[in-house]
Structure 1
């Protein structure tokens, strides 16, 4: 774990174009999709026990700081943190450096779970893409995130924000719909909390969803989602999607045992 963490871009210093470009050997930062990272932190952490799990520490660092810092470096801009209550915002903001300029949004009250945070973030940003992750993913790997950016950029020639814009590749002169989302797929299924969503696609479809729907329901509504198998991504993606729901799972991660769910 130590060696791999040393390979990460700095999560303390302000990200630069040079540091962002180092997260992938094949991705040029200038070709990456224009994306804002969204960290979902509005859950009640009922399985974790006392306290918000985003404030639990790994290697002496709060999970929220690890996640936000990594995504800030990869995207080159302050992430959005989605919370449910003003108290959550106050406590999480205290765990983050003020110089990171992190923005907070309140979950959409008409929705629930992760979808509520994604919907609120889609209304708060102007970038064409959102990269969505949970606050409980302490092993997020820049190379794995950047590989998804590269995948989206290769489908997104003019970086248009419209869900139904078309791009033409040298291998397909008929053109194709630009994907409304780019989602990793493992042996466990889709990984919607380690995925890119086109902002326009979220905004155009969220009103059709039920209050208790999740991100899976959103993805099911979208036509042309790009599903990317783990075998087409860096090996670090298996670590990157790891999330912790209990203190036992966090202890296993701290001991070097990865936890998927």
Structure 2
């Protein structure tokens, strides 16, 4: 399936206390892990401050910078050319291309698919979406919550088998990052 990838790599990282996407796990930055997971994308769009670690990526900023995931998605979606997109956070060190492929497969015939964690909670920054449906939803949405935007689209829920390094694991705090380094 032809798809682009939008990686959200901005935000304030209040709980992290540093430039989270630039943090390293296993010799790669978190944003590089996210980009690698979307390796089959026709186009990689990274929303956030300029970084020189992803040659060929289209770099954009949300307006205003740090405004949150909905404005960041809006900025990234403006650069999407494919009919489908993978929407990913830049802090998912264990997400792999096979996981993105599963999301794309599950999204076929629907508006999208979202990864769910081990407790069944949607991980809104790990999903694949029909770009036209997402543009329409964004055009009618005035809120700030990804759940509020994406939930009504009725995405397929994709649960993956339990793994020591779950695809949905995100690094929100320095402790999460340390745990990811140990797991890798």
Give the TM interval when normalised to the shorter protein: 0.7 to 0.9
Alignment root-mean-square deviation, CA: 2.4
Aligned length: 183
Find the aligned partners of 1:181 and 1:112 in 2 and give their Cα distance. 24
Match of 1:183 in 2: 114
CA deviations on 1:91-150 (whole Å, 9 max, x unpaired) are x2x223x3xx11012214499411112111222222111111111111112221111112
Matches within 5 A, 1:159-174: none
Match of 1:221 in 2: 152
- Give ranges in structure 1 of 5+ residues lacking alignment: 1-31, 156-178
1:64 alignment partner, one of 31, 35, 38: 31
Match of 2:7 in 1: 39
Find the aligned partners of 2:164 and 2:131 in 1 and give their Cα distance. 23
TM-score, normalised via structure 1 length: 0.63
TM-score, normalised via structure 2 length: 0.87
1:247 alignment partner, one of 148, 170, 174: 174
- Give ranges in structure 2 of 5+ residues lacking alignment: none
Match of 1:197 in 2: 129
Choose between structure 1 and 2: higher helix proportion: 1
Match of 1:164 in 2: none
| Larger relative contact order (CA 8 Å, sep ≥ 6) | 2
Find the aligned partners of 1:190 and 1:242 in 2 and give their Cα distance. 12
Matches within 5 A, 1:1-261: 32=1, 34-49=2-17, 51-71=18-38, 73-75=39-41, 77-83=42-48, 88-89=49-50, 92=51, 94-96=52-54, 98=55, 101-109=56-64, 112-153=67-108, 155=109, 179-186=110-117, 187-211=119-143, 213-222=144-153, 225-230=154-159, 233=160, 235=162, 239-256=166-183
Structure ID, larger Rg:
1
Structure 1's 234 and 147: CA in aligned 2 closer, same or farther, altered over 3 A? farther
CA deviations on 1:62-90 (whole Å, 9 max, x unpaired) are 1112221331x233x3310012xxxx21x
